[in-house]
């Protein structure tokens, strides 16, 4: 289950002459959640030049057959890129938790102050 999309950062345009590929790696795991880094690579089919067109960070929660969170294995770091992403994951997790709490507070305020009676059926 997708728990959050932290960011999608568009760094370079993708042109009609580009081929696009996506690479993803699990950068961090908690008890039942995992952070996934996605790199979108554009390659100019004429020149062969490659560039990172966009990056994204997503969080997923593993669910069992009863739709309850279930344990995930710890991530195994294999590359320098994976190690760098893993080193900075705890900061992103903390920020994600703070952002979610602020979203809940805003939703509670908006729910309490929404003119529901305007939209209820008679």
Domain CATH for 61: 3.10.129.10
Query: What's the confidence (pLDDT) of residue 121?
Result: 65
Residue 75 · residue 29 · CB < 8 Å = yes
Write the burial class of residue 40 (CB in 10 Å: 0-12 exposed, 13-18 middle, 19+ buried).
Answer: buried
Give the number of domains in the chain.
1
Query: What's the confidence (pLDDT) of residue 37?
Result: 95
Distance (Å, rounded) from C-alpha 3 to C-alpha 35?
10
Phi, psi of 8 (to 5 degrees): -135, 115
The per-residue pLDDT for range 63-95, each reduced to its tens digit, is 999 999 999 999 999 999 999 999 999 898 899
The per-residue pLDDT for range 4-62, each reduced to its tens digit, is 888 899 999 999 999 999 999 999 998 999 999 999 999 999 999 999 999 999 999 99
- Position 119 in a domain: no
Query: What's the confidence (pLDDT) of residue 38?
Result: 96
- Position 54 in a domain: yes
- Position 32 in a domain: yes
């Amino acid at each position: 289950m997708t728990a959050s999309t932290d960011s999608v950062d568009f760094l370079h345009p993708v042109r009609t002459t580009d081929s696009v590929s996506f690479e993803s790696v699990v950068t961090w795991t908690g008890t039942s959640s995992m952070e996934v880094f996605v790199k979108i690579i554009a390659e100019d089919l004429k020149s062969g030049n490659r560039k990172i067109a966009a990056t994204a960070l997503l969080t997923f929660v593993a669910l069992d057959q009863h739709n309850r969170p279930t344990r995930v294995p710890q991530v195994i770091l294999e590359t320098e890129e994976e190690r760098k992403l893993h080193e900075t994951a705890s900061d992103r997790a903390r920020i994600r938790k703070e952002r979610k709490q602020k979203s809940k507070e805003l939703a509670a305020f908006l729910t309490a102050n929404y003119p529901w009676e305007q939209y209820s059926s008679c």
